């Protein structure tokens, strides 16, 4: 019943890139260090974000990640679901078999409705909103860049 660490890391990574600015190349090392994400684990997460089209990964020396989209065009739901798959509060498919019609059944339609509500809420949260001042994710000063 929790957002996973991987999803939390993905969000931190995206917020970091947003704060650095769309199109700005940022090394994995810097993000991992500043956002406190295990570097190798971040690599895995970034690959999924890249496959989903949110960032571009540049290999080689001076490589790193680049934000592709406008912050206001990205929302929490799509980032989270890129990492953990479609959010669903419903019981597993094995349990759905028990219920002949989860959409009609008053017991099980609750989860369908609550899931929709949650997904709508997260969809409404765009990255321009959560990346402004006050965020716990602060960027490394460009000058002190190693």
Partner DNA sequence: TAAATTTAGGACCTTAAATATCTTGTATGC
Partner DNA sequence: GCATACAAGATATTTAAGGTCCTAAATTTA
Under the criterion CB under 7 A, does residue 53 sit at the interface with DNA?
no
Nearer to DNA, 6 or 125 (CB): 6
Nearer to DNA, 36 or 120 (CB): 36
Q: Which of the listed partners (a second copy, DNA, none) does 89 bind, with a CB threshold of 5 to 8 Å by partner kind? A: a second copy
Q: Which of the listed partners (a second copy, DNA, none) does 90 bind, with a CB threshold of 5 to 8 Å by partner kind? A: a second copy
Under the criterion CB under 7 A, does residue 12 sit at the interface with DNA?
no
Residue with tokens 């704060």: 19
Q: From CA 4, how far away is CA 83, in angstroms rounded?
A: 9
Report residue 25: phi and psi, to 5°: -80, 130
Cβ contact 2:54 at 8 Å: no
State the binding string over 42-71 for a second copy (x if CB under 8 A, else -). ------------------------------
Cα–Cα nearest to 14, from 76, 61, 63: 76
Would you state the structure tokens that stand for residue 59, as one six-digit string?
A: 């290999």
């Amino acid at each position: 019943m929790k957002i996973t660490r991987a999803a939390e890391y993905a969000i931190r990574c995206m917020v970091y890139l947003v704060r650095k600015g769309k199109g700005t190349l940022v090394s994995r090392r810097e993000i991992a260090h500043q956002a406190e994400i295990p570097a190798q684990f971040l690599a895995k997460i970034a690959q999924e974000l890249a496959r989903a089209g949110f960032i571009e990964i540049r290999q080689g020396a001076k490589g790193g990640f680049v934000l592709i989209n406008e912050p206001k065009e990205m929302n929490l739901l799509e980032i989270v679901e890129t990492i953990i798959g479609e959010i669903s509060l419903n019981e597993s498919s094995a349990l759905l078999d028990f219920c002949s019609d989860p959409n009609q059944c008053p017991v099980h339609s609750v989860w369908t409705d609550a899931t929709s509500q949650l997904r709508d809420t997260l969809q409404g949260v765009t990255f321009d909103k959560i990346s402004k001042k006050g965020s716990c994710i602060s960027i490394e000063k460009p000058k002190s860049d190693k």
